[in-house]
């Protein structure tokens, strides 16, 4: 339904190529793009089959997946894939539901206010025969193939919210059994209805990360049949899918007491600065809320918000949160700057700007002239000092940012204690009063461009984000060492007239 139409629909190789191209255009799938369920009797059936009374299975018997195609014509168009056992009916269909741009003030039952849709009905269900249905408020399709006929007399049954009389219906003149049709295609050498090795591998690339992310997810238990009610209804929220109704599951470890996950957001002090700590998800929510609060305050005060974001993998959860949940964030008044950048082209995976674009920028409405990537590539070469990229960025910063003071700077901390691209062994005094400098990393790619402490410490607010058990030893060391930043550069973050807040999740804080 979504692949590019081939020039020759009879050319099976071209059809397969176009399907392969579509698979390559799908956005990655993760656990936020799927919900799963399991019918209530499944566990008992599995235990009886395996003859193991204590066996517990997390195998889903229902799944709904929200997918998107990364192409301009499908921008903002959700693709919902649903399959399951023990539902209220056995039916198969592909449905295209169009947005309705008509508003009916009084009579909501007029044809213009009914759903506009095209349904490819595979069989079973209320209709009981394969058909293509086009709602009458769209258009009347012409019968152009002798193997198809228009249905003019039929029992008026309900099909996906409309009576069958509300559709133009076409069905095959001769209905064929599915496997018989496939066997005839084998003899005819028609490959377009079969999966090639390339397509199979491309499909695995799409689905394997999703399956891995769902390995330990508990499926929602549903009774089966009509008793399911609205338990399996789903809600689309941005690029996430959720069950419409919440079900609270109390695990055995929570009965009679609080579980370890019951801790709320905790505030305190770390290295004489404010600290916020919580489980990672709650902490990211708090950081995103604090960032929006700072943005709104800055816009109310001066009409603009200058935000500097760091690279690395730590901020990805924050980017995701901002993109999908903070629709009122004042992006149109926000100028976005880079804390640091690797000296690679911006189109490469290692580029911090590429990561920022993929996980945040393309999902929010920020004017392109408010985005300020670091100029690491000038004169067709990367981070050559004579090209003056660092000075160019510093001049741009001085020109646009009042007093060269960012409203908000987001930093991460590496396992070695580095922050931005300021690494152990570097001498901050070497940069003098420069706000931007070329630096060297011990890891590839070695060349970097980074804000200096002179720029970072002018900020009104600095957030240091530390997440994961792997950072626990570092957090312990940072809590003990004094104000020497040679070994741990992050200690050099000391806003002169601003506020520093450490956001440390429980894994990093408690181990």
Model confidence pLDDT, tens digit, residues 358-400: 999 998 999 999 999 999 999 999 999 999 999 999 999 999 9
Q: Report the candidate in 82, 106, 112, 108 with the shortest Cα–Cα distance to residue 95.
A: 82
What is the per-residue pLDDT for 247?
Answer: 59
Strand pairing class (408-412; 461-466) = parallel
Q: What is residue 381's predicted lDDT score, i.e. its pLDDT? A: 94
How far, in Å, CA of 393 to CA of 190, rounded?
58
Q: Are 298 and 286 in contact (CB under 8 A)?
A: no
Q: For residue 168, what pLDDT is reported?
A: 93
Maximal C-alpha separation, the chain: 86
Q: How confident is the model at residue 312 (pLDDT cuts 50, 70, 90)?
A: confident
Please state, for a pLDDT cut of 90, what percent of the chain lies above it.
Answer: 66
Q: Please, which residues have CB within 8 angstroms of residue 501's CB and are 6 or more apart in sequence?
A: 273, 274, 275, 276, 290, 461, 462, 463, 464
Query: Model confidence over 75-99: pLDDT tens digits?
Result: 889 999 999 999 998 999 999 999 8
Contact 330, 293 (CB under 8 A): no
248: confidence class by pLDDT, cuts 50, 70, 90: very low
**Strand-pair partners of 277:** 266, 504
Cα radius of gyration (the chain)? 29
- Mean pLDDT for the stretch of residues 203-230: 92
Residue 457, preceding peptide bond in cis (omega within 30° of 0): no
pLDDT band at 64 (very low <50, low <70, confident <90, very high): very high
Structure tokens at 411: 């930093």
Residue 262 has pLDDT above 80, yes or no: no
| 352-375 as b/e: b if 16+ CB within 10 A | bbbbbbbbbbebbebeeebbbbbb
Across the range 412-438, mean pLDDT stands at 92
Residues 232 and 244 sit within 8 Å (Cβ to Cβ) = no
Helix locations, 67-196, DSSP H: 178-188
Q: Is the CATH number of domain 266-510 3.40.50.1360?
A: yes
- Mean pLDDT, the chain, rounded, equals 90
What distance in Å separates the CA atoms of residue 477 and residue 475, rounded to the nearest whole number? 5
Is residue 437 classed as helix, strand or coil in its secondary structure? strand
Neighbours of 403 (CB within 10 A): 9
Asked whether residue 126 carries a pLDDT value surpassing 90, the answer given is no
Question: Residue 264 pLDDT more than 70?
Answer: no
> Could you state, in order of their start, the residue ranges of all structural domains in the chain?
266-510
Question: Has residue 258 got a pLDDT over 70?
Answer: no
pLDDT at 252 over 50: no
Q: Is the pLDDT of residue 338 over 50?
A: yes
Alpha-carbon distance of 67 to 79, in angstroms, equals 5
Q: pLDDT-based confidence at 63, cuts 50/70/90?
A: very high
Q: What mean pLDDT do residues 181-192 have? A: 84
The CB density around residue 108, as the number of other CB atoms within 10 Å, is 10
Residue 318: what pLDDT?
96
Which secondary structure element, helix H or strand E, spans residue 19, and what is its range?
Answer: helix 12-25
127, pLDDT greater than 90 = no
Q: Given pLDDT bands bounded at 50, 70 and 90, which one contains residue 485?
A: low
Distances in Å between the Cα of 440 and the Cα atoms of 250, 337, 342 are: 51, 20, 10
Distances in whole angstroms, Cα of residue 245 to Cα of each of 220, 234, 321, 407: 11, 8, 21, 39
Which of 102-116, 118-132, 345-359, 414-428 has the lowest average pLDDT?
102-116
Residue 47: what are its φ and ψ, rounded to 5°?
-60, -40
Going by pLDDT thresholds of 50, 70 and 90, the confidence category of residue 154 is confident
pLDDT at 253: 43
Quick check: helix, strand or coil at residue 143? coil
In this prediction, residue 486 carries a pLDDT of 74
pTM, two decimal places: 0.70
The closest of 279, 312, 240, 338 to 287, measured between CA atoms, is: 279
């Amino acid at each position: 339904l979504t692949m590019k139409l081939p020039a020759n629909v009879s050319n099976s190789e071209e059809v397969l190529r176009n399907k392969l191209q579509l698979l390559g255009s799908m956005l990655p799938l993760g656990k936020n793009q799927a919900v799963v369920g399991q019918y209530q009797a499944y566990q008992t059936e599995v235990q009886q089959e395996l003859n193991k009374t204590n066996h517990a299975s997390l195998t889903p018997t229902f799944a709904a997946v929200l997918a998107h195609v990364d192409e301009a014509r499908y921008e903002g168009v959700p693709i919902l894939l649903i399959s399951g056992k023990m539902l209220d009916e056995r039916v198969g269909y592909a449905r295209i539901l169009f947005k309705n741009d008509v508003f009916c003030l009084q009579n909501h039952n007029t044809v213009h206010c009914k759903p506009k849709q095209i349904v490819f009905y595979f069989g079973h269900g209320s209709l009981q025969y394969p058909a293509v249905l086009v709602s009458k408020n769209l258009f009347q399709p012409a019968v152009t193939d002798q193997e198809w006929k228009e249905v003019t007399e039929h029992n008026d049954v309900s099909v996906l919210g409309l009576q069958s009389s509300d559709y133009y219906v076409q069905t095959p003149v001769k209905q064929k059994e599915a496997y018989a049709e496939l066997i005839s295609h084998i003899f005819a050498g028609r490959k377009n209805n079969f999966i090639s090795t390339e397509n199979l591998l491309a499909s695995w690339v799409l689905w394997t990360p999703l399956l891995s992310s769902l390995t330990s997810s508990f499926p929602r238990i549903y009774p089966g049949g009509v008793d399911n009610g609205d338990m399996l209804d789903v809600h689309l929220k941005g690029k996430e899918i959720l069950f419409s109704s919440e079900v609270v599951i109390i695990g055995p470890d929570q009965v009679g007491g609080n579980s370890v996950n019951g801790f709320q957001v905790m505030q305190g002090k770390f290295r004489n600065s404010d600290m916020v700590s919580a489980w990672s998800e709650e902490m990211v929510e708090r950081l995103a809320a604090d960032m929006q609060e700072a943005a709104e305050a800055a816009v109310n005060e001066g009409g603009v918000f200058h935000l500097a974001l760091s690279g690395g993998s730590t901020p990805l959860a924050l980017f995701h949160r901002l993109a999908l949940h903070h629709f009122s964030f004042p992006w149109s008044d926000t100028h976005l700057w880079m804390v640091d950048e690797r000296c690679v082209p911006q189109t490469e995976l290692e580029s911090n700007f590429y990561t920022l674009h993929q996980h945040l920028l393309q999902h929010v409405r920020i004017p392109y002239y408010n985005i300020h990537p670091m100029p690491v590539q000038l004169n067709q070469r990367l981070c050559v000092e004579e090209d003056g990229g660092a000075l160019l960025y510093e001049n741009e910063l001085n020109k646009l940012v009042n007093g060269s003071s960012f409203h908000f700077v987001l930093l991460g901390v590496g396992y070695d204690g580095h922050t931005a691209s300021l690494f152990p062994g570097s001498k901050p005094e070497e940069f003098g009063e420069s706000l931007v400098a070329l630096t060297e990393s011990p890891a590839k790619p070695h060349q970097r461009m980074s804000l200096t402490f002179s720029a970072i410490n002018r900020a009104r607010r600095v957030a240091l984000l530390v997440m994961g058990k792997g950072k626990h030893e570092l957090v312990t060391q940072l809590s003990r060492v004094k104000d020497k930043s040679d070994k741990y550069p992050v200690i050099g973050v000391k806003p002169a007239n601003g506020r520093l807040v450490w956001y440390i999740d429980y894994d990093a804080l408690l181990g």
